Amino acid sequence: MTGSRTTFSYSPAPESRAVVDLKPSYGLFIDGDFVDTIDGSAFKTISPSTEEVLAEVTDAGPRDVDRAVAAARKAYDTTWSRLSGRERGKYLFRIARILQERGREFAVLESLDNGKPIKESRDVDIPLAAAHFFYHAGWADKLSYAGYGPAPRPLGVAAQVIPWNFPLLMLAWKIAPALATGNTVVLKPAETTPLTALLFAEVCQQADLPPGVVNIVTGAGPTGQALVEHSDINKVAFTGSTDVGKLIRRSLAGSAKKLTLELGGKGANIVFDDAPIDQAVEGIVRGVFFNQGHVCCAGTRLLVQESVAEEVLDSLKRRLGTLRLGDPLDKNTDIGAINSAEQLVRIRTLSDIGEAEGAGRWSPVCELPERGFWFPPTVFTGVSQAHRIARDEIFGPVLSVLTFRTPSEAVEKANNTPYGLSAGVWTEKGSLILHMAQKLRAGVVWANTFNNFDPASPFGGYKESGFGREGGRHGLEAYLNV
C-alpha cells in the first residue's frame, strides 16, 4: 500500500474554474444587447461557499424595467408573434443545443454562484434545463393539438421572476414554454444568483434569437415588483416564497394579467413498514438533502410507520454519515453551501426553535468550512404536528421526523398543512400506493422515488403551494390565451 492511509479518503477532485470567463461587471440584457442601467445601481454577487466577490451586477431601476418591457413588446408585435411555430421551435432547438454544448461552463458557473455541488449542477440542473428547451421546442408548431382549441393564441409579454435554488433550471422552466407558445419575456433572476441568466443571454445571442424576445433584468425585490406591476405586461409567472406570491397575487387583482405561482411546500415523505427500506432511506436523503434542502418540493417531513421507525432512523443516520459537505466545485461533494447569509440565519433560527420546542436534534460529525455559509445535515426526531419545524418551510437541509400507525393517520398528517406541493410514498403494496396517491393533496406524488423532474411531467401545487403547472402539455396553458 502506498502511504500510511488506512481508510478510503477521497483526495480533492475540483472541477476546473478555467472554463468560466467571468466579467468584472454585467449590464442588463435588453433588446438583444447588454446595456448600462438608466436609473439603477450596482451590487455584488458572491460565491456563498467562499464569500468571494464574483462580479458586479446591475440592480435595475423602474426605467430599466420600462425599457425591457418595451423591448419585449416591440419584439412581440414586430417579430415573434408573426413567426410561424416551426421557426420559433427551431430557435428553441438551437438554444437547447447550445446549452448542451456549453454545459460544463454553465455547471461550474451555477455552482460558483449558487453554492450547489457540481455533481448536481452538472448532472441535474443543466441537462434538465437543456431538456426543457428541447421539449418545448417541439410544441411550438403543435399548439393546435395541445387541447386548447384549434388556434390558441399567446398572451403577449410575460414577466417572470425566479428563485435562487435552481437558477438556470427555473429560467428554462419559465422561458421555454413562454417562447414556444409565442410570448416574449422579461425575466428577473434572483439577486443572489444572477450569473447563469446573464450567461444565458449570450446563448440567446449565439442562437441569433431576435432582439427583445428574451430580456434579462437583474435586481432584488423592488425590481421584481416594478416588473410584475408594469402596466404593459400580460402575464406574470413567479416561483418563490408563498409570502411574496400572495403579494403578487394582490397586486394583480383587477388586472387582466394572467398569473401562475409556484410557491413553498412542506412535503411529507411517508414510509410504510413494508417499504424497500434501503431505497426509502436513499429517497429520504434525496428528498431533503438534495440541493442543501433548497427545494420547494423537498420531503422535509418524514412520516415513518412506528413499527419501522427505529430501523429507518438508524439506517438514515448511518447514511447521513457518508454525506460529504464542502467545496461545491469538488466532484465528490454531496452537500454544498447555503445560498446566502440571510438564508443561513433563517435555517439556524428555525432549527433553534425546533430544539427549544423539545425536538431531538442530530447531525452527523461534519466539519464546516470556515468561510462561506454552511449548515450541516440535520435531523429532528420526536417532532409533532404542532412544532414549527413541522409546519414552516425551512428551505434548508433539515428533516423533521414524525411517526404514524395507520394509513389514514399518515394521510391526515401529510395533508395537515396549508401547502400541497409534493409527497412521497414508500411501500411495496401496489393498492396502498394508489390509495395514498389519491388521498394526498399534493401536485406531485412520488411513489418509491423522490425528487424526480422531467420536462414532460407537469409540476405545481395545491393550496398555498400555488397554482398553474409547469412542464408537459399542462404547462402550456399558463402562456396561452385560453
Partner 1 sequence: MSDRPASPSADRLEVRKTYKLYVGGAFPRSESGRSYEVTGSKGEFLANASLASRKDARDAVVAARAAFPGWSGATAYNRGQVIYRVAEVLESRRSQFIEEVGVAEGLSPKKAGSIVDASIDRLVWYAGWADKIAQVLGGSNAVSGPFFNFSVPEPTGVVAVLAPQHSSLLGLVSCVAPVITTGNTCVVLTSQTMPLPAVTFGEVLATSDVPGGVVNILTGKVSEVAPHLAAHMDVNAIDLTGSGLAAAELEVAAADNVKRVLRPNLDSDGREVDWATEPDLTRLRAFVETKTVWHPIGV
Partner 2 sequence: MIAAPVQETQWDGIANSDRSLRTFLHGLPGVDRVGADQRAAALATRSIKTDSKAWAIDLAIQMIDLTTLEGADTPGKVKALCAKAIGPDPADQSVPSVAAVCVYNDLVGIAKEALGSSGVHVAAVATAFPSGRASLPVKVADTHDAVAAGADEIDMVIDRGAFLSGRYLQVHDEIVAIKAACTADGHSAHLKVILETGELQTYDSVRRASWLAMLAGADFIKTSTGKIAPAATLPVTLVMLEAVRDFRAATGRQVGVKPAGGIRTTKDAVKYLVLVNETVGAEWLDPEWFRLGASSVLNDLLMQRTKLTTGRYSGPDYFTLD
When asked if residue 12 is in the footprint of partner 2 (CB under 8 A), the reply is yes
Q: Which of 110, 262, 464, 477 is catalytic?
A: 262
**Segment near partner 2 (CB under 8 A), from 79-87, 187-195, 202-210, 314-322?**
314-322
Among 36, 123, 232, 342, interactor with partner 2 by CB under 8 A: 123
Site residues, partner 1 (CB under 8 A): 131, 147, 149, 242, 245-247, 249-250, 252-254, 256, 261, 263, 418, 433, 437, 442-449, 452, 454, 456-460, 462-467, 469, 472-474, 477, 482
When asked if residue 231 is in the footprint of partner 2 (CB under 8 A), the reply is no
Out of partner 1, partner 2, none, what residue 12 binds, judged by CB under 5 to 8 A for its kind, is: partner 2
* Residue 131 · residue 96 · CB < 8 Å: yes
When asked if residue 366 is in the footprint of partner 2 (CB under 8 A), the reply is no
Footprint of partner 2 on 132-171 (CB under 8 A): none
Among 56, 77, 141, 274, interactor with partner 2 by CB under 8 A: 274
Q: Cell digits for 456?
A: 414532460
Quote the least distance from Cβ 134 to partner 2, whole Å.
Answer: 22
Among 416, 449, 457, 481, interactor with partner 2 by CB under 8 A: 449
Q: Which of 110, 296, 464, 477 is catalytic?
A: 296
Quote the least distance from Cβ 425 to partner 2, whole Å.
Answer: 12
Terminal Cα-to-Cα distance of the chain (whole angstroms): 69
Is residue 82 packed enough to be buried (19+ CB in 10 Å), middle (13-18) or exposed (0-12)? Answer: exposed
Out of partner 2, partner 1, none, what residue 372 binds, judged by CB under 5 to 8 A for its kind, is: none
Our answer to whether residue 262 is catalytic in this structure is: yes
Quote the least distance from Cβ 281 to partner 2, whole Å.
Answer: 9
SS3 for 227-278, per residue?
Answer: HHCCCCCCEEEEECCHHHHHHHHHHCCCCCCEEEEECCCCCEEEECCCCCHH
Q: Cell digits for 434?
A: 394508489
Among 322, 367, 431, 438, interactor with partner 2 by CB under 8 A: 322
The CA angle 189-286-121, to the nearest 5 degrees, is: 40
Quote the least distance from Cβ 188 to partner 1, whole Å.
Answer: 21
Quote the least distance from Cβ 302 to partner 2, whole Å.
Answer: 16
Tell me the residue type at 177.
P
Nearer to partner 1, 51 or 243 (CB): 243
How many CA atoms within 13 Å lie on the side-chain side of 402?
26
Among 79, 81, 205, 332, interactor with partner 2 by CB under 8 A: 332
When asked if residue 276 is in the footprint of partner 2 (CB under 8 A), the reply is yes
When asked if residue 448 is in the footprint of partner 2 (CB under 8 A), the reply is yes
When asked if residue 392 is in the footprint of partner 2 (CB under 8 A), the reply is no
> What distance in Å separates the CA atoms of residue 267 and residue 409, rounded to the nearest whole number?
16
Tell me the residue type at 207.
A
Q: Cell digits for 96?
A: 437547447
Nearer to partner 2, 184 or 427 (CB): 427
Out of partner 1, partner 2, none, what residue 459 binds, judged by CB under 5 to 8 A for its kind, is: partner 1
SS3 422: strand
Quote the least distance from Cβ 461 to partner 1, whole Å.
Answer: 8
Quote the least distance from Cβ 77 to partner 2, whole Å.
Answer: 47
Residue 146: CB atoms within 10 Å: 17
Among 81, 206, 279, 416, interactor with partner 2 by CB under 8 A: 279
Main-chain dihedrals φ then ψ at residue 471, nearest 5 degrees: 100, 150
What separation in angstroms does the CA of 113 have from each of 68, 106, 237, 239? 24, 10, 23, 19
What separation in angstroms does the CA of 127 have from each of 119, 123, 124, 136, 137? 11, 6, 6, 14, 15
Quote the least distance from Cβ 272 to partner 2, whole Å.
Answer: 11
Residue 442 gets the label, from left (phi > 0), alpha (psi -120 to 50) or beta, of beta
Out of partner 2, partner 1, none, what residue 9 binds, judged by CB under 5 to 8 A for its kind, is: partner 2
Residues that bind partner 2 (rule: CB under 8 A) add up to a total of 31
When asked if residue 253 is in the footprint of partner 2 (CB under 8 A), the reply is no
Gyration radius of the chain's alpha carbons: 22
Q: Is the dihedral of CA 382, 387, 393, 398 positive or negative?
A: negative
Nearer to partner 1, 74 or 473 (CB): 473
When asked if residue 275 is in the footprint of partner 2 (CB under 8 A), the reply is yes
Quickly list H helices, 140-237: 167-180, 195-206, 221-228
Residues 6+ apart with CB under 8 A from 247: none
Residue 356: CB atoms within 10 Å: 10
Quick one: which H or E segment has residue 354? helix 341-356
In our burial notation (b when 16+ CB lie closer than 10 A, e otherwise), range 178-192 reads bbbbbbbbbbbbbbb
Q: Which sequence positions are flagged as catalytic?
A: 262, 296
**Interface with partner 2 (CB under 8 A):** 1-3, 5-13, 119, 123, 274-279, 282-283, 311, 314-315, 322, 331-332, 428, 448-449
